[in-house]
Structure 1
Amino acid sequence: MDNEKPRLLVVVGSVREGRFGPVVASWVAEQADAHGGFDVEVVDLAEFDIPLALPAASPKYAGDDYPRPAGMAALTSALANADAFVLVTPEYNHSYPASLKAAIDWHFTQWTAKPVAFVSYGGAAGGRHAVLHLENVLTELHAVTVRDGLAFPNYFTAWQDGHPLDAEAPAYAKTLLDQLSWWANALRSAREAVPYPA
């Protein structure tokens, strides 16, 4: 791993059977690798034990001592080590999946003062309702949400062989990654220079 590059974590947010998320996340990771500004890792929430029931104490105050299940240790480590995130999410009932909410709620400081970009997919809205909700949640955790995201309406007819049919999609992805790279480098330097005020 190149220690000079920010570490980008691409998160597959859906755990639903037959989900399309891994296809989208794989394409996003390809775009990020081609961009060259990041060390890229993909994590799939389906591979972790993420209970919906939370301890009484908030992770906001417990920090590293927060009592998380052993099955979540690798996810916690990946989130903590990341300098930037791309959350890949579908839209379920005009919002985002419970799996993604649970993963966020089990963590707090891992998101703080780090940039988050969104790639969504769905029906006519392309997952945009999910992203609107996520922007509110991540702001509460002191993350910085990137303005330009990617949304794939009617993904079931708009993709073929693991790639979107829209020829402009790579250019849109580059814009997202350029912005994410700027924020990742700026915020990493800021975190190293001065601790973020809690």
Structure 2
Amino acid sequence: MPTLAIIIGSTRPGRGGLPVAQWFVERARAHGAFELDVVDLLELGLPFLDEPNHPRLRQYTQQHTKDWSARVDAADAFVIVTPEYNHGMSAPVKNALDFLHEEWQYKPVGFVAYGGVSAGTRATNMLKQVVTALRMTPVTEAVTLPFFRQFVDDEDGVQTNETMETSADAMLDELVRMEAALRRLRPG
């Protein structure tokens, strides 16, 4: 069974990404097509890029980079749960992507985006440019939560609707198809 890494892209106190990610993890678990690796960038604690060599060389000197490399290498597909900050992606997400290069290649990626009126879509559009440069393949299907606080209940987590659930399943289905197609392009 392929492994799906779900990356929680917000590290700020009181972040909305944690309950949104917890909902999506349960949805992905129920979908059943992937083994899951939940990567909380807050727990991962990567400093801002501190490697002396270009990531393309894979000559890592820091243990945190070696550990991150192994985790990304082991994943077959990704979902980035991303907030939108000032019309863009969060710095921790960009930093986590920039730490590595080869490890991301020929793997599909989907997005669960949340925010205000734009539902995080501007962050997703920016992320698509970055992941494409890393030779990842963003899937068209996505989950977007406009005015996301209306869906978050402190006691019960995220209160979903049919659109969110249908979108999540469609994205997971497409990640399955794309992962199988891209697998043959990856070395080893």
TM-score by length of 1: 0.88
Give the structure 2 partner of residue 162 of structure 1: 157
Residue of structure 2 aligned with 1:39, choices 35, 47, 57: 35
1:102 pairs with 2:102: no
One-letter amino acid of the structure 1 residue matched with residue 165 of structure 2: P
- 1:72 Cα deviation after fit: 4.3
Which deviates more, 73-82 or 40-49?
73-82
Alpha-carbon distance in structure 2 between the residues aligned to 1:66 and 1:75: 10
**Contact 1:127/1:153 (8 A) holds in 2:** yes
**Contact 1:89/1:96 (8 A) holds in 2:** yes
TM-score by length of 2: 0.92
Give the structure 1 partner of residue 127 of structure 2: 134
- 1:127 Cα deviation after fit: 0.5
Give the structure 1 partner of residue 179 of structure 2: 184
State the secondary structure of the residue aligned to 1:168. helix
| Structure 1: 5+ residue stretches without partners | none
Structure-2 change in CA distance of 1:173 and 1:162 (3 Å)? same
Question: Following superposition of structure 1 onto structure 2, how do residues 6-21 of structure 1 map, counting pairs within 5 Å?
Answer: 6-21=2-17
- 1:168 Cα deviation after fit: 2.5
**Contact 1:12/1:44 (8 A) holds in 2:** yes
One-letter amino acid of the structure 2 residue matched with residue 79 of structure 1: V
Tell me the number of residue pairs that the alignment of Structure 1 and Structure 2 aligns: 186
| Structure 2: 5+ residue stretches without partners | none
- 1:143 Cα deviation after fit: 0.5
Runs of at least 4 residues of structure 1 off by over 4 A? none
Residue of structure 1 aligned with 2:145, choices 152, 167, 183: 152
State the secondary structure of the residue aligned to 1:43. strand
Residue of structure 1 aligned with 2:18, choices 22, 25, 35: 22
Q: Percent identity?
A: 37
Give the structure 1 partner of residue 71 of structure 2: 78
